[in-house]
Structure 1
Amino acid sequence: MSSAGVGCLYGVGVGPGDPELLTLKAVRVLKAAPIIFTPQATGSKDSLALMVARNYVDESRQRLIYASFVMGGTSDGVWSEAAERIAGYLLGGEDVAFLTQGDPLLYGSFMYVMVKVQAAHPTIPIEVVPGVTSITASASRAKMPLVSHGERLAVLPAMYGIDDLRDVLARNDTVVLMKVNRRAMAAVSQLEADGELSRCVFVRRATTPREQIAFSLREIAPEDIDYFSMLILSGKKGQV
């Protein structure tokens, strides 16, 4: 808690899924915070972020608060309500640890709450605890270098047009497509079939028991694709 008697909001990145990938700082913050706030996808029985951090949370002395949201959807109202609730605890002098899969500021739900808390209460202290991203976790599990010195990396949500994807591949050495869907997979499959890719790696739920890695999309069935799937791609130089 800050010296002014106002709690601190911690955005805690819990990493991609393996509890051993939590940082020492994340563990320390989780154990100390009296309130643990965790997003939960609508229809899910548990919070995926909380499942990763469960071993470091003691419900006998810490309060768990859930925020329900639609996976991949617009949840501005949810985050506004969450920011309001969290601000109440913070102004009452209690620290709050907000769990986020991966890193809090890379496609993380925490960023939406952080911005709203900052706007409404600019004096509330906020600290972000970085987490291992799904991008680096996927590359490490596939033993696939992302970029070396002087190379360019593009990180994008699922691309929908094959022409757009060709353009991005032509301008970057490596392209990471996050949260891929079947339409994006179809576009990439066409590029692979046409021989326009020098590498194509599919990774789903890296570092978790449900992890799946494939070095060709021909190995992937439609049911293998979910919200936590990504592709690591490189085009062939000189092709557009």
Structure 2
Amino acid sequence: MSKGILYGLGVGPGDPELLTLKGARLLREADVVAVPDKGSGEKTALNIVKDHVDESKVIYCPTPMVRDMAVLDGAYDQIADTVCALLDEGKTVVFITLGDPAIYSTYVYVHQRVVARGYEAELVPGVPSFCAVAARLGMPLCERSERLMIVPASHKDVDDCLAVDANYVFMKAGKDITALQETLANRNLLSGASMVENCGMDGERVYHKFGELDAVSGYFSVVVVKHPQ
């Protein structure tokens, strides 16, 4: 029996209509659809693609929201074990992930483990959250020779990034949103900053002027900063 193939499928930022045609086809044809499970109840990625998925094909893969690398590595190893066992049975497995699988996705750590064990795996791109945010704001991310820097705002101090002459995308700002506002204000960048929370999802909020936000935002918050010319 030939081994199956693993697909890491980006399902986009939230709007179900932004799922690609290839993604929809793979979900229909899959033997198994693997869903990241953070243990918090709602499965955001699955909710986006639910109209394309047979529930009987779904398996849930625990992916804890922690920064303890030992815990995370153990979780990824366990998922890889599960996926490889299915591939050994000749099954096609589609692992769904928000946005694009090559941009800060949980899936990529599973992908690397599966490939290292000699199995076939493919990354299937999806619409990144910051592209959907720029469209929602009605603005380009970069023009002509402008550079673009993508920064995970919640992981470390971002001040060093702001020394680069570029436009910025701050992802996963969440509970650190106030600190980001203060940092941008200190750099005279706040006036060029906009934000969308939960882009394409329920509870979407749009702030064309990021400085007007006066409350903590959710995990799915993306801030776009245009560098003054």
What is residue 121 of structure 2 aligned with on the other side? 126
Q: Select 1:68's aligned residue among 36, 54, 62.
A: 62
Partner residue, 1:25: 22
Task: Report the equivalent of 2:112.
Answer: 115
Q: Displacement, 1:205?
A: 1.1
Gaps of at least 5 residues in structure 1 are none
Q: How does 1:139-178 map to 2 (within 5 A)?
A: 139-158=134-153, 160-161=156-157, 164-165=158-159, 167-178=160-171
Amino acid at match of 1:234: K
Q: CA deviation at 1:109?
A: 1.2
Q: Distance in 1 between matches of 2:48 and 2:30?
A: 16
Q: Sort the Cα spacing of 1:178 and 1:171 in 2 relative to 1 into closer, same or farther, 3 A.
A: same
Call closer, same or farther: CA 1:56–1:187 in 2, change over 3 Å.
closer
Report the Cα distance in structure 1 between the residues aligned to 2:102 and 2:187, rounded to whole angstroms.
Answer: 36
- Distance apart, 1:193 and its partner CA: 7.0
Aligned-partner Cα distance in 2 for 1:182–1:9: 34
Structure 1 counterpart of 2:99, one-letter code: G
The residue number in structure 1 matching 2:181 is 188
Aligned mate of 2:225, from 218, 221, 233: 233
Asked if the contact 1:192/1:200 (under 8 Å) is kept, the reply is no
Establish whether residue 213 from structure 1 lines up as the match of residue 202 from structure 2: no
| Corresponding letter in the other structure for 1:63 | K
CA distance in 1, matches of 2:5, 2:29: 12
Shift of 1:173: 2.3
1:9 matched to 2:2: no
* Structure whose alpha-carbon radius of gyration is higher: 1
- Are residues 182 and 235 of structure 1, via their aligned partners in 2, closer, same or farther at CA, if it must alter by over 3 Å? farther
Quote the sequence identity (%).
35
CA distance in 1, matches of 2:103, 2:222: 14
TM-superposed CA distance for 1:181, in Å, is: 3.6
TM-score scaled by length of structure 1: 0.86
Tell me which residue corresponds to 1:54: 50
Structure 2 counterpart of 1:92, from 78, 89, 92: 89
Q: Secondary structure at the match of 2:42?
A: coil
Deviation of residue 83 (structure 1)? Answer: 0.5
Q: Contact conserved, 1:154 with 1:172, CA < 8 A, in 2?
A: no
Q: Distance in 1 between matches of 2:151 and 2:183?
A: 19
Task: Name the CA shift for 1:213/1:72 in 2 (closer, same or farther; >3 Å).
Answer: farther
How far apart, in 2, do the equivalents of 1:188 and 1:232 lie? 12
Post-superposition Cα deviations, 1:139-161, rounded to whole Å, max 9, x if no partner, equal 11111210012111100111654
TM-score (norm 2): 0.90
User: How many residues get paired?
Assistant: 225
